Structure formats: structure tokens, C-alpha cells
Amino acid sequence: MKNHGCYFSSPILPHASMASFQPIFYWFAFWFCCCLASVRARPHPCEVRLSIQTVRAFNVAHRGANGELPEETAPAYLRAIEEGTDFIETDILSTKDGVLICFHDVTLNDTTDIADHPEFADRISTYEVQGVDTTGWFSVDFTWQELQTLRTRQRFSFRDSAYNDIFPIIKFEEYIEIALNASRIVGIYPELKNPVFINEHVTWADGKKYEDVFAETLLKYGYQGKFLSEQWKAKPIFIQSFAPTSLIYVSNLTDSPKILLIDDVDIPTQDTNQSFWEITSEAYLNYIKEYVVGIGPWKDTLVPPDTMNHLKNSTHLVHRAHSHGLQVHPYTFRNENQFLHFDFNQDPYQEYQFWISIMKVDGIFTDFPGSLHMYQEWTSPMKLVMGPSAVTWLDTFSKLLFSHKYKLP
Ligand SMILES: *[C@@H]1O[C@H](CO)[C@@H](O)[C@H](O)[C@H]1NC(C)=O
Ligand SMILES: *[C@@H]1O[C@H](CO)[C@@H](O)[C@H](O)[C@H]1NC(C)=O
Ligand SMILES: *[C@@H]1O[C@H](CO)[C@@H](O)[C@H](O)[C@H]1NC(C)=O
Ligand SMILES: *[C@@H]1O[C@H](CO)[C@@H](O)[C@H](O)[C@H]1NC(C)=O
Ligand SMILES: *[C@@H]1O[C@H](CO)[C@@H](O)[C@H](O)[C@H]1NC(C)=O
């Protein structure tokens, strides 16, 4: 996936410092491409939005900048955009009345103030979720109107709780608008979350399934086109799921690129009940690549740690996926000490260096998109592609060049 940007078609190393040595011609060519792509995608012909970068590993803001702010909230997504992420990531679940929402867990227990709402005390249920009986307040038992009365919380007690009980849960559509409203092109990365469970508990008009409503929402906002197509670059998206059946089903509904998420080695797929070993076999990668552009595995299945928290040798899954032309976007990178393997000297930048420069992954799900962005700016700066100073610089440049033609304000 690297080196397919609109300006570099020759294999320039993604980790080299491009801004410093590229001739001015490339600067012009790059700007011109961005301008053309953006102008076509936007209603206002004079507005130039910076393109999404495609020459270095994608920065995927896992549930927004959830290391700092409660996950999957508008402020968490806005913060990630401000910090330079390429994609904002989310999990899509449904309310009882079929409204698609951004929320990770099937229960509201851990990341909302539901326990402080006596009016919902009797709303606890027990359902089977992926073969396990689970008790709690399930989003599928609440209407959208009811959910709006809740406020979100940080999942981990060691993270900043100053923003607890302030921000509401948002709809899938609000999340899409946050990306589309950004001043530069920011991608979305929605997950078809627990599709088997959702289809069991929620019904839509006309016999539609969860996957139908999910795909319709994306098409309504103009998300379509294969990876790196002009349509994709105008509205970048990856659709992700742990359920192969859902990914194959939505392949009939949209040609947007899809990523097969892969769980830990002891967790079977939620729909097809296949083992980790089955879905990472050569035969399966060969089959699934007809439907997906990449895989999203847990990083510890790619390079497993030993019981002393030191990394063992790589399992070669990154290499094998690449040999099938599949991208690899591992999850989840977290700055905190308890999530770092000792090989990295308790330094998240060293972890990024290992995965980007040595493992050569194509994207990274991180709870701290600001840190990943900072790391990439230091090691492979791309002032031309993103960042506040670049925006200013490009704006000035574009106005100089095109002011006579488009009569910019
Ligand atoms: C959610 O909270 C309820 C009430 O305290 C409890 O019974 C249930 O086990 C909790 N569920 C989860 C998944 O934490
Ligand atoms: C996006 O921008 C439109 C137009 O300005 C506005 O109506 C809408 O509320 C914004 N949505 C979000 C989620 O920021
Ligand atoms: C895709 O659509 C075709 C034609 O409508 C249908 O035959 C096929 O079963 C569909 N595939 C899936 C996975 O739904
Ligand atoms: C899933 O597969 C495992 C191992 O093949 C089997 O033991 C289990 O019964 C299966 N579960 C379901 C729900 O089919
Ligand atoms: C990693 O593999 C090399 C050879 O490929 C071997 O010498 C070494 O012992 C292995 N290390 C671990 C920690 O398994």
C-alpha cells in the first residue's frame, strides 16, 4: 500500500525525509494532485483539503484519541484529528430501535454512567454473546432516546477521569460527519461489531439486516470505491470485522476496502467458528483476499511475548499476508507502561519503530494517535501532507497559484 500516493509513483522509501530533498517540481505536482482530487470531491471548488497520506503506515485512531478522552465520543475523534491521525476508528452497535451507534462493548457497564441511573436499574439482562452468557445493561435493550441520557466514561482507572460523565454516546452518522467536516481529508474505519448478536436482537424494516443498514449508511454519505481509487481518496474508508460472513456479505453491497480482524489464537471467529490457525492458513488468506485488502491482527499474535514480557520471534504472519498482497494493520498500541513489552525500554516510540521499520506493517491502531503522529513526523516528516503548519503553508501556496483563476476570498 505504500508509495501509491498521487505524487510519488517511483519507489521512494517511505521512511526517508522527503520534504528536505525533493525538487520543487514535486512540491508543485503534489499540490496540484491534491487540489484536483479535493476540488472534485467538495461542493465548494475553491476549498482545498489536504489529501490523506498514503506513503507511510496509516495512523488509525483507535476509538478516537481514547487514551486521553472517553472512547468513541465526538471530542475523542476531534482530538485525534487535531493530533494528525489518518483514520478515526469506531465500533458500530445498534439501539433497540435500530439506530446505529458508536460503542465498543455490547453492555453499557464499563464506559457509561448507566449504574447511576435508577430508572434503568431493572433493565439488566443476560444474553449469550459469542457463546458466553453475559449479564449487564445491553445497548440493544435501550432506545436511542434513552441512550442519549447517558454520559460516557474512561474505561481504565489509570487514565484521565476529568472528562467522565460529560460527553454523550454518538450515532454512526455523527461520527461520519465529524470526519467529513474535518479541515483535511480524514478517513473512517468502522467495525461491524458483534453482527451475529445484533442481528439476533434487533430487527429493521423490510427484513433488512444490520449489515444492510451499515452499508446503506456509508453509501448515503458517498463512501465507495476501491482502495486508492479517486473516490476512496476523497472519502477514505476501511470496513473492518471479526466476522468473515459479514465482510463477504457487505462485499455485495459496497466495493469499499475491507479488513478482516483476527482475534487471539484461542478465540474462534464469532460467525464461522473457525480457529486462528484456520483463518491464517495459506489457503484461507488466498480465499479471503478476494474480499478484503488486509488483515487486522492483535500484535501479540504477530510477535508473541514470553511469560517474562519479552518478545519472541516473529510468527511470519506479516510476511505471509504481504506475500498475498494483503495489508497488515495490527492493534492495539498503548503508551502506558503496563502495555509495553520490555524490549522497548518502556518507550512507545521504540515500539512504533519496531513495528513500522522492522515489521513493516501498513497501519497501526493506537489509543494515542498523537504519539504515533509525532513519531512519524520525527522519523519520516511529511509537512506537505498534514499538520497545522502544512495546512497554512499549502493554503497560502494554493491561493497564490489559483487566486486569479478561482477568485478565492
Ligand atoms: C453490569 O452491571 C451489573 C449490575 O451491577 C452486573 O450485574 C453485571 O454483571 C455487569 N456486567 C458486566 C459485563 O460488567
Ligand atoms: C458538520 O457540518 C455541518 C455543516 O456545517 C453541520 O450542520 C453538522 O452539524 C456538522 N456535524 C458534526 C457532527 O460536526
Ligand atoms: C451476492 O449477490 C449475488 C447476486 O445477488 C447472490 O447470488 C449471492 O448469494 C450474494 N452473496 C452473498 C455472500 O450474499
Ligand atoms: C466450534 O468449534 C469447536 C472446535 O471445532 C467445537 O468444539 C465447538 O462445539 C464449535 N462451536 C459451535 C458453536 O459450533
Ligand atoms: C529466533 O530464531 C532464531 C533463528 O531463526 C533462533 O536462533 C533464536 O533462538 C530464536 N529466538 C527465540 C527467542 O525463539
**Does residue 166 form part of some domain?**
no
Structural domain tally of the chain? 2
- Both 197 and 250 in one domain: the answer is yes
Q: Which residues pair with 258 in a beta bridge?
A: 239
pLDDT 10s digits, 214-258: 999 999 999 999 999 999 999 999 999 999 999 999 999 999 999
Report the range of poorest mean pLDDT among 33-42, 62-71, 100-109, 226-235. 33-42
| Ligand closest in space to the Cα of 215 | 3
Q: How far is the CA of 188 from the centre of ligand 2 (A)?
A: 16
- Both 42 and 177 in one domain: the answer is no
Cell of 294: 488486509
**Does residue 270 form part of some domain?**
yes
Q: Report the nearest-CA residue for atom 4 of ligand 5.
A: 313
Q: Report the nearest-CA residue for atom 9 of ligand 4.
A: 273
**Does residue 245 form part of some domain?**
yes
Instruction: State the pLDDT at residue 402.
Output: 40
Q: Report the nearest-CA residue for atom 1 of ligand 1.
A: 136
**Does residue 183 form part of some domain?**
yes
Domain range spanning residue 51? 1-55+381-409
| Averaged pLDDT score across all residues of the chain | 88
**Does residue 13 form part of some domain?**
yes
Q: What is the pTM of this model?
A: 0.85
- Both 51 and 178 in one domain: the answer is no
**Does residue 188 form part of some domain?**
yes
Mutate to test the pocket of ligand 2, among 73, 177, 188 (most ligand atoms within 8 A of CB): 177
- Both 269 and 405 in one domain: the answer is no
Backbone angles phi, psi at 213, to 5 degrees: -70, -40
Q: Which residues pair with 171 in a beta bridge?
A: 101
Q: Quick one: pLDDT band at residue 48, thresholds 50, 70, 90?
A: confident
Residue 336, domain CATH: 3.20.20.190
Distance (Å, whole) CA 158 – CA 175: 26
Q: What is the DSSP code (8-state) at residue 280?
A: T
- Both 263 and 360 in one domain: the answer is yes
- Both 403 and 391 in one domain: the answer is yes
Query: Alpha-carbon Rg of the chain, whole angstroms?
Result: 21
H, E, C per residue of 86-155: CEEEEEEEECCCCCEEECCCCECCCCECHHHCHHHHHHCEEEEECCEEEEECEHHHCCHHHHCCCCECCC
Cβ–ligand 4 distance for 196 under 6 Å, the answer no
- Both 3 and 97 in one domain: the answer is no
Q: Report the nearest-CA residue for atom 6 of ligand 1.
A: 136
Residue linked to cell 473457525? 274
Distance (Å, whole) CA 352 – CA 391: 25
Instruction: State the pLDDT at residue 295.
Output: 98
Instruction: State the pLDDT at residue 382.
Output: 77
Cβ–ligand 1 distance for 136 under 6 Å, the answer yes
- Both 192 and 45 in one domain: the answer is no
**Does residue 131 form part of some domain?**
no
Q: Quick one: pLDDT band at residue 54, thresholds 50, 70, 90?
A: very high
CB 363 within 8 A of CB 57: yes
Q: Quick one: pLDDT band at residue 265, thresholds 50, 70, 90?
A: very high
Q: What is the mean pLDDT of residues 188-197?
A: 98
Q: How far is the CA of 124 from the centre of ligand 1 (A)?
A: 8
Cβ–ligand 1 distance for 84 under 6 Å, the answer no
**Does residue 155 form part of some domain?**
no
23, pLDDT greater than 90: no
Q: How far is CA 389 from CA 31, 183, 380, in A?
A: 15, 13, 16
- Both 178 and 45 in one domain: the answer is no
67, pLDDT greater than 70: yes
| Residue 199 CB neighbours (<10 A) | 16
Q: Residues lining ligand 3, judged by CB closer than 6 Å?
A: 248-249, 252
- Percentage of residues of the chain with pLDDT beyond 70: 82
- Both 297 and 401 in one domain: the answer is no
- Both 280 and 231 in one domain: the answer is yes
- Both 223 and 372 in one domain: the answer is yes
278, pLDDT greater than 90: yes
| Residue 306 CB neighbours (<10 A) | 10
| Ligand closest in space to the Cα of 250 | 3
Cell of 75: 471530542
